[in-house]
């Protein structure tokens, strides 16, 4: 499974994924901001165009109505085509004169001619001329040819329905137009209309004016959502990988320790065989009728004691293995170890000094197993301490605050280079009665605590110094979970 995970999410791919997510997120945010800014700008321009157009439109209507009222009574009741031509020409001149005051505004009048409304306009800037056969072309049906306005780009349709003028405006991208239209009356009847118009440049124009903005912001939002989903996915993957890595590390540690344990067991087998061979040969002698005498019985008991010592030491290993770790107080453990060492120390005429750093952070521990470490250390220290000397137990936080250090120092002969080399090896002993397991077990317990046990010669005086190193419990561990070491 781990191999599969590695294949699916190698770190390079993860980095690329992360870069892709960041780019997607940034571009989505940018396009959303751009869309909003453009939309707001467009709305502002529409509003200002609306104001300008209202004013221009009002002037056009007033001027147009006044002109029609002035001109129409000059002709008979039936206004002839030529009269309309004259009226339209005049209206066109009016448009020209009024719209000169409004840069950017185009416009014109529709007036009744042959039952149709026909538009004239004077663009403020030249418009492209329509191709001859263009379907969009709506040629003006009347008016002076030089004033004829080709409505190729903007088509304004008008019609009278139930005494109202209806307008329809079509526009061609990329321009959208703001249009004002209003009827022009003569004697209470609508006889035409004025229209004014402004083009608004609009990058997102797509026929229905806001659809482009909705689409653009929709895409941008989808991009943002997608990048968030991808981020969550990526975070999950990273977390899974971290869990997997931890699992592998734990497995590796266990394998290493199992290998060490295998070595230890081989040593145990070897160590146990010697006393067993002794016991066997004594028993064989007794079988042949030689003995039992008190000397051979004494040898037998010594061999059994040795086996007993080895077995009880080995039991300490199982303690280190099986204990659950919980946040606890290292000071409490060291104080208890000092208390336990007090009695034997007094017998040897040795002082036990304790110096504990107050307010030590919690460490994950199995207190009983740690007590065993300090018992092994103080027992060794006592064995080499001359009367009148001191054993010193101290605790402190390592500079940096990530690990705790607890030391046991004596004033004995110290550690020779040869002893230092083999100190922690199981069954290494320089004592006739020793098992050589005390330090090996102490170290094993330290490793089981994700810590270590180190040995060196003191620099401040004669003697050896053993230091237990324990990692501080991570800060997020709730304080109430911290327990004082429990001793049974
Ligand atoms: P044991 O005490 O049964 O010999 P240990 O593993 O506890 O087994 O110690 C291994 C060896 O390390 C001891 O035999 C001794 O030579 C050396 N040693 C341990 N502690 C000290 C000490 N405080 N000062 C000098 N030598 C020590």
pLDDT of 189: 66
Q: What is the pLDDT along the chain (488 residues), one digit of tens a residue?
A: 344 444 455 666 778 878 888 888 888 888 888 888 887 887 777 677 778 877 888 898 888 888 888 887 777 766 677 777 787 778 888 888 998 998 888 777 776 543 444 444 433 333 333 333 333 333 333 322 222 233 323 444 444 444 444 444 444 444 455 566 666 777 766 666 777 777 665 555 444 456 677 888 888 888 889 888 988 888 888 889 889 998 998 888 778 777 777 777 777 787 788 888 888 988 888 888 887 788 888 888 888 888 888 887 777 666 655 457 889 999 999 999 999 999 999 999 999 999 999 999 999 998 888 998 999 999 999 999 999 999 999 999 999 889 999 999 999 999 999 999 999 888 888 988 788 888 988 988 888 888 999 999 999 989 999 999 999 987 544 444 444 444 43
Domain boundaries, the chain: 12-201, 322-488
Residue 453 Cα to ligand 1 midpoint, Å, equals 14
pLDDT in the model for residue 456: 96
User: Is the distance from CB of 71 to CB of 87 less than 8 angstroms?
Assistant: yes
Give the CA radius of gyration of the chain: 51
Minimal-distance CA residue to ligand 1 atom 23: 381
- Residue 181, pLDDT score: 65
Distance 430 CA to ligand 1 centre (A): 7
> Which single residue is written with the structure tokens 């901001």?
33
Amino acid 201: pLDDT: 59
Q: Do 12-201 and 322-488 agree at the fold level?
A: no
Q: How much distance in Å is there from the Cα of 252 to the middle of ligand 1? A: 29
Dihedral-angle region of residue 294 (phi above 0 means left; psi in -120 to 50 means alpha; beta otherwise): alpha
Please report the atom of ligand 1 found closest to the CA of residue 380: 20
Q: pTM (2 decimals)?
A: 0.49
pLDDT of amino acid 58: 86
Can you read off the two tokens belonging to residue 195? Answer: 């229209």
Q: What is the pLDDT of residue 426?
A: 81
pLDDT computed for residue 334 by the predictor: 96
In the prediction, which pLDDT does 10 show? 62
Mutation to probe ligand 1, out of 314, 410, 439 (largest number of atoms < 8 A from CB): 439
Q: Whose CA is nearest to atom 16 of ligand 1?
A: 430
Q: What's the rounded Cα separation, in Å, for the pair 224 and 211?
A: 20
Residue 406 near residue 378, CB atoms below 8 Å: no
Q: How far apart are CA 438 and CA 373, in angstroms?
A: 8
Ligand 1 atom 7: the closest Cα is on which residue?
Answer: 438
Q: Ligand 1: residues whose CB is within 6 Å?
A: 376, 380-381, 384, 410, 412, 415, 419, 423, 428-431, 434-440, 464
* Predicted pLDDT of residue 256: 77
Position in ligand 1 atom list of the atom nearest CA 412: 24
* DSSP bridge partners of 176: 200
Whether the CB-CB separation of 456 and 300 falls below 8 Å is answered with: no
| Cα–Cα dist 45/26, whole Å | 28
C-alpha 380 to ligand 1 mean position (Å): 6
CATH topology of domain 322-488: Heat Shock Protein 90 (3.30.565)
Can you tell me the distance from the alpha carbon of 131 to that of 462, in angstroms, rounded to the nearest whole number?
Answer: 110
For residue 436, the CA-to-ligand 1 centroid distance in Å is 7
Reduce the secondary structure of the chain to three states and give it as a string: CHHHHHHHCCHHHHHHHHHHHHHHHHHHHHHHHHHHHHHHHHHHHHHHHHHHHHHHHHHHHHHHHHHHHHHHHHCCCCCCHHHHHHHHHHHHHHHHHHHCCCCCEEEEEEEEECCEEEECCCCCCCCCCCCCCCCCCCCCCCCCHHHCCCCCCCEEEEEEECCEEEEEEECCCCEEEEEEEEEEEECCEEEEEEEEEEEEECCCCCCCCCHHHHHHHHHHHHHHHHHHHHHHHHHHHHHHHHHHHHHHHHHHHHHHHHHHHHHHHHHHHHHHHHHHHHHHHHHHHHHCCCCCCHHHHHHHHHHHHHHHHHHHHHHHHHHHHHCCCEEECHHHHHHHHHHHHHHHHHHHCCEEEEECCCCCCCEEECHHHHHHHHHHHHHHHHHHCCCCCEEEEEEEECCCCCEEEEEEECCCCCCCHHHHHHCCCCCCCCCCCCCCCHHHHHHHHHHHCCCEEEEEECCCCCCEEEEEEEEECCCCCCHHHCECCCCC
CA of 422 to the centre of ligand 1 (A): 10
Q: Which of 316, 380, 436, 461 to mutate to test the pocket of ligand 1 (most atoms within 8 A of CB)?
A: 380
What atom of ligand 1 comes closest to residue 440's alpha carbon? 6
Superfamily classification of domain 12-201: PAS domain (3.30.450.20)
| Mutation pick for ligand 1 pocket among 317, 378, 429 (CB with most ligand atoms within 8 Å) | 429
């Amino acid at each position: 499974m781990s191999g599969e995970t590695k294949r699916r999410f190698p770190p390079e791919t993860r980095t690329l994924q992360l870069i892709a997510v960041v780019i997607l997120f940034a571009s989505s945010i940018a396009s959303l901001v751009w869309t909003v800014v453009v939309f707001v700008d467009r709305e502002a321009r529409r509003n200002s165009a609306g104001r300008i157009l209202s004013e221009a439109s009002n002037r056009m209507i007033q001027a147009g109505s006044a002109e029609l009222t002035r001109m129409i009574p000059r002709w008979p009741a039936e206004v002839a085509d030529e009269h309309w031509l004259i009226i339209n020409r005049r209206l066109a001149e009016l448009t020209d004169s009024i719209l000169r005051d409004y840069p950017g505004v185009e416009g014109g009048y529709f007036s009744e001619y042959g039952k149709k409304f026909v538009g004239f306009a004077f663009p403020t800037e030249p418009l492209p001329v329509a191709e001859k056969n263009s379907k969009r072309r709506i040629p003006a049906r009347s008016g002076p040819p030089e004033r004829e306005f080709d409505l190729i780009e903007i088509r304004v349709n008008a019609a009278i329905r139930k005494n109202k003028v209806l307008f329809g405006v079509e526009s061609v991208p990329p321009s959208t137009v703001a249009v004002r239209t209003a009827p022009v009356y003569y004697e209470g009847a609508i006889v035409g209309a004025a229209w004014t118009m402004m083009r608004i440049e609009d990058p997102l124009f797509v026929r229905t004016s806001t659809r482009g903005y909705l689409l653009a912001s929709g895409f941008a939002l989808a991009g943002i959502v997608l990048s968030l989903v991808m981020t969550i996915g990526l975070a999950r993957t990273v977390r899974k990988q971290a869990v997997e890595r931890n699992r592998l590390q734990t497995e590796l540690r266990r394998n290493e320790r199992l290998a060490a344990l295998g070595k230890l067991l081989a040593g145990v087998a070897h160590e146990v065989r010697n006393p067993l061979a002794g016991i066997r040969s004594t028993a064989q002698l007794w079988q042949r009728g030689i003995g039992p005498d008190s000397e051979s019985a004494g040898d037998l008991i010594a061999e059994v004691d040795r086996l007993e010592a080895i077995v009880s030491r080995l039991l300490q290993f199982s303690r280190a293995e099986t204990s659950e770790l919980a946040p606890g107080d290292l000071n409490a453990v060291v104080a208890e170890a000092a208390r336990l060492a007090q009695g034997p120390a007094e017998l040897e005429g040795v002082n036990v000094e304790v110096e504990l750093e107050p307010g030590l952070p919690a460490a994950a521990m199995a207190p009983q197993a740690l007590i065993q470490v300090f018992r092994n250390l103080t027992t060794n220290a006592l064995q080499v301490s001359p009367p009148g000397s001191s054993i010193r137990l101290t605790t402190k936080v390592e500079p940096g605050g990530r690990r705790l250090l607890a030391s046991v120092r004596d004033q004995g002969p110290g550690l020779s280079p040869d002893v230092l080399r083999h100190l922690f090896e199981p069954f290494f002993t320089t004592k006739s009665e020793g098992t050589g397991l005390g330090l090996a077990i102490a170290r094993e317990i330290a490793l089981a605590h994700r810590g270590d046990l180190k040995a060196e010669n003191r620099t401040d005086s004669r003697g050896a110094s053993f230091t237990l190193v324990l990692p501080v419990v991570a800060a997020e561990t709730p304080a109430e979970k911290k327990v004082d070491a429990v001793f049974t």
